[in-house]
Structure 1
Amino acid sequence: MRPSCLIFGIVFASFPLMAQEHAAPADGPEALRGSVREWMETMQKIQKEEDAWEKDREVLKGYKEGLEKEIEDLKEQIDRAKTRKEGGDKQSLDEVAERDRYAAAQDELARQVRTLEEGLSSRLKLVPGPLLRQAKVAQGVEVLKQGLQLPPDKLSEDVSKRLFNAVELLAEIEKFQQLVHVRAELHKDSQGREFKMQVVYFGLAMAYGVNEDSSFALVGRPGQDGWKFEERAAIAPQIQALVASATSEKDATFTQLPLIQP
């Protein structure tokens, strides 16, 4: 029960008792009623304040619950952000490690390609002239030389292209090495006279050449300074027979020739 209802009950219950008391002064009842009225107005104000406070308390309670919910949401967002950050940091570290591995592998590949280019270049002198003059091989040699001119800090440039070129160049040389080839070439004798000759190459190992009338013959081998040819007029007929056998569609014949030591 509210305090105002209780107060009204006490006041009305007191009126019979007040009637039994001695007569009050003329202004006594009026003063009493004024006091009661003032007291009731005061209690009504108090009640209003209590009602207002109750409403404010409910509003504040709603604010408090809303703030608590917002705080919980923010905590969850912070936890998710921390999780994402930790995952992002790990991913970033993994990406950095992967990038470093890739860079290290690329540097190692660049060094290996340079080693391959240097080794291949040092052995080009063992490749006979006719093979070096072939368009595909000549272009490969040019690319090889361009790669060798790169400074150390540029070794990674066009590394894939240079590797492919070196492999292709080696493949062409290996293909020549596995077969017997007959090439038309010009050679000079010791007197400076030039002859058109047919030269038979046994891969990269040896070569035998003879002119059309078998008056001039050569034997060639690769050396430290490249291919060297020596005059061997005495075996011109045998070399002529070798050329005929190599260029004829008839059955191959056996031709005996000296093996020239390097």
Structure 2
Amino acid sequence: MIACRVAVMLVFLSVGGFSAWAGTSLTETRSTLEKWVEARQLISKTRTDWQSDKETLEQTIALYERELKAIDEQMSKVSTNNTQVAKEMEEATSLQKVSHVTLNGTRQFATDFEAKLKRLTPQLPIPLQDILKPMLARMPADPATTKMLAAERVQVLVGVLSELDKFNNAVNLFNEKRKNSQGEEVAVQTIYVGLGAAYFVNEAGDFAGTGTSGASGWEWTTKSEIASAVQEVVRIYRNERTARFVTLPATIR
């Protein structure tokens, strides 16, 4: 009976000891499992966060790369534009230098030709001087200080040359007055053959002569013997006679 109780007591004690051990192991296991689950969750969260951060970072990098590319393109354009601007500036500077040289040459040409015209004017026929007077008045009094544009000065000179050429290549008839041997002014008709010679005659046909250009103006010589010939030329000029050859004296200088 006693032996039986002892056995039962041992069995109880054994069962009690196992239960105590089992309880401790389960608690540790549960704690370990909880920590493992937490670790897995943390790893999963970390992976998710990293994936999100990675995508954000990649998007940011892509954005920066696009901006850098755009900046590079703009800088390239600026560089190209700067090169073009520099090229255009160089061309403009070169053209400006050529223009200055040309302009200075034009001014000098105008100055020289204006001086020649002023010396030539007194030697021209009075009717031609009257024609040129408005244009000659436009020429600058002092080429060194004039504000008149070179183009305007050349335009005036071209106009003067045009009138000179027109007069020199035509036969022109003008009504003038000439002094006779008594010093009296007589109304005459003067035929200018270009700028080389002139012939005059009065209405009565008793006063006639020739004219040539001199250093201080036209010089006139009375030659009454050519009166009829000059009158014939006047009639031909007015279409009152059929054109024909008329002999007149000429002075070669």
TM tier, shorter chain?
A: 0.7 to 0.9
Q: Does 2:93 match 1:102?
A: no
TM-score by length of 2: 0.73
1:126 Cα offset (Å): 2.2
Measured in 2, the distance between the counterparts of 1:108 and 1:55 equals 78
Q: Does 2:167 match 1:176?
A: yes
TM-score by length of 1: 0.70
Paired residues for 1:1-262 under 5 Å:
24-25=20-21, 28-29=24-25, 31-33=27-29, 35-40=31-36, 42-43=38-39, 44-133=41-130, 137-138=131-132, 141-149=133-141, 151-152=143-144, 154=146, 157=149, 159-189=150-180, 191-213=182-204, 215-230=206-221, 232=222, 235-236=223-224, 238-248=225-235, 249-250=241-242, 252=244, 254-255=246-247, 257=249, 259=250
Larger Cα-atom Rg: 2
Amino acid at match of 2:28: L
Q: Answer yes or no: is the 8 Å Cα contact 1:125–1:226 preserved in 2.
A: yes
1:200 Cα offset (Å): 3.2
1:86 Cα offset (Å): 1.3
1:36 Cα offset (Å): 1.5
Which segments of 5 or more consecutive residues in structure 2 lack a partner in the other structure?
Answer: 1-16, 236-240
2:3 equivalent in structure 1: none
1:206 Cα offset (Å): 2.9
Change (3 A) 1:229 1:66: same
Q: Answer yes or no: is the 8 Å Cα contact 2:178–2:187 preserved in 1.
A: yes
Could you tell me the percent identity over the aligned residues?
A: 24
Per-residue CA shift, 1:10-44, capped at 9, x if unaligned? xxxxxxxxxxx966558623641453155235413
- Secondary structure (helix, strand or coil) at the match of 1:244 reads helix
Amino acid at match of 1:163: V
Measured in 2, the distance between the counterparts of 1:253 and 1:37 equals 143
1:129 Cα offset (Å): 1.0
Per-residue CA shift, 1:59-89, capped at 9, x if unaligned? 2123223323332333233223312321232
- Secondary structure (helix, strand or coil) at the match of 1:227 reads strand
Aligned pairs, number: 231
Which segments of 5 or more consecutive residues in structure 1 lack a partner in the other structure?
Answer: 1-20
Change (3 A) 1:123 1:78: same
Measured in 2, the distance between the counterparts of 1:255 and 1:54 equals 120
Measured in 2, the distance between the counterparts of 1:67 and 1:149 equals 72
Change (3 A) 1:181 1:143: closer
Name the Cα RMSD after superposition. Answer: 3.3
